[in-house]
Amino acid sequence: MGLALGVVAAAGLSLLVGIQPVTPADVVLALTAPAGRPADAVVLYLRVPRTAAGLLAGAGLGLAGAVAQGLTRNPLAGPEVLGVNGGAAFAGLVAMALVGVGPLGGYVWFCFAGAALALGAVLAIASAGRDGATPVKIAMAGAAVSALLFSLTSAIVLRDHDLFERFRFWLVGSLTRADLPIVLQAVPFLAAGTVLALALARPLDAAALGDDTARSLGARPALLRGSAIAAVVVLAGTATAVAGPVGFVGLVVPHAARALAGPAHVRVLPLSALLGALVLLLADVVGRVVLRPEEVQVGVTAAVLGAPVFLYLLRRRRVGDL
């Protein structure tokens, strides 16, 4: 309950804070009795879509990270580490900039395809060798694939100045371009991914005991892996389509959820969704005020806030535990 109230408070801050000043009374009037006032336009056409996009993208990234870590039994397996965000961003850029696909309902399929291909490549590379896909090999393969995708993305945008100007904010992770049609188109995809992810809670707990034990408990490891990969691709792919490749949220948030609720995925998955929404909204609010009158994009603030937490997690675990 407290966490849900925190998300509501963060959404309220997101509606209030920004370059154009509005008061709590302005927000209430805009939401309940809009009358064409300047403050109404700020709230309804700028702050509401941005806040909704932050809620959806943050929840999707937090949930995708929790599923990815449960699937791989790897504490470093966030969607950004596995190359999922990078693959989705690269394919989305190709769809929007080079193929000319406009609405989110069109290019989100490219994001799914890019996310799936990147994740497949990481798992295939990490599985090579006698010892299979160890946590360290997964993290290293993810870093290599992410670096390659970043280089390819940079090569595309840097050769075209107009293209760079159009997509530079999206490529660093941003909620500023969110509008209501984009948010509404993202809802069915994120809802489907959320339902699938939550349905995997008990099978993920069983899989944590090993494949043989999982089978004895009625789980089907191959079906679980396929379903979990589909959930990660849909959740992270849609979040990237909405907000660009935002890092660290999917990696760090599940650790906080486990610290609050223990290891059971029945509790970790919904908490990760709530915490993801809370963290992304607060990171966006911080980005609006830290360098006023300019704004720092949410992908930058999330990285600045998430990197120390990531380093703390690394220091808490021995290399052999990863």
pLDDT in tens, 30-45: 888 888 888 898 999 8
Q: How many angstroms separate the CA atoms of 88 and 81, rounded?
A: 13
Residue 61 pLDDT more than 60? yes
Q: Is residue 320 in a domain?
A: no
Question: Does residue 42 lie within any of the structural domains?
Answer: yes
Express each pLDDT in 211-232 by its tens digit: 777 777 777 778 888 899 999 9
At residue 319, the pLDDT reads 41
The boundaries of the domain holding residue 145 are 1-315
Q: Is residue 236 part of a domain?
A: yes
Domain-located, residue 322: no
**What's the structural domain count of the chain?**
1
Backbone angles phi, psi at 7, to 5 degrees: -65, -40
Query: Is there a domain that residue 321 lies in?
Result: no
The candidate with the shortest Cα–Cα distance to 48, out of 281, 275, 268, is 281
Q: Inter-axis angle of helices 221-243 and 180-199, to 10 degrees?
A: 160
pLDDT recorded at residue 168: 76
Please compute the mean of the pLDDT values over residues 55-67 and round it to a whole number. Answer: 94
Q: Tell me if 63 is assigned to some domain.
A: yes
The CATH number of the domain holding residue 19 is 1.10.3470.10
Q: What is the pTM of this model?
A: 0.88
Burial pattern 95-119, b for ≥16 Cβ within 10 A else e, equals: bbbeeebeebbebbbbbbbbbbbbb
pLDDT of residue 156 exceeding 50, the answer is yes
Res. 275: pLDDT tops 90: yes
Residue 167 lies in a domain: yes
Local confidence band at 313 (pLDDT 50, 70, 90 cut-offs): low
192 assigned to some structural domain: yes
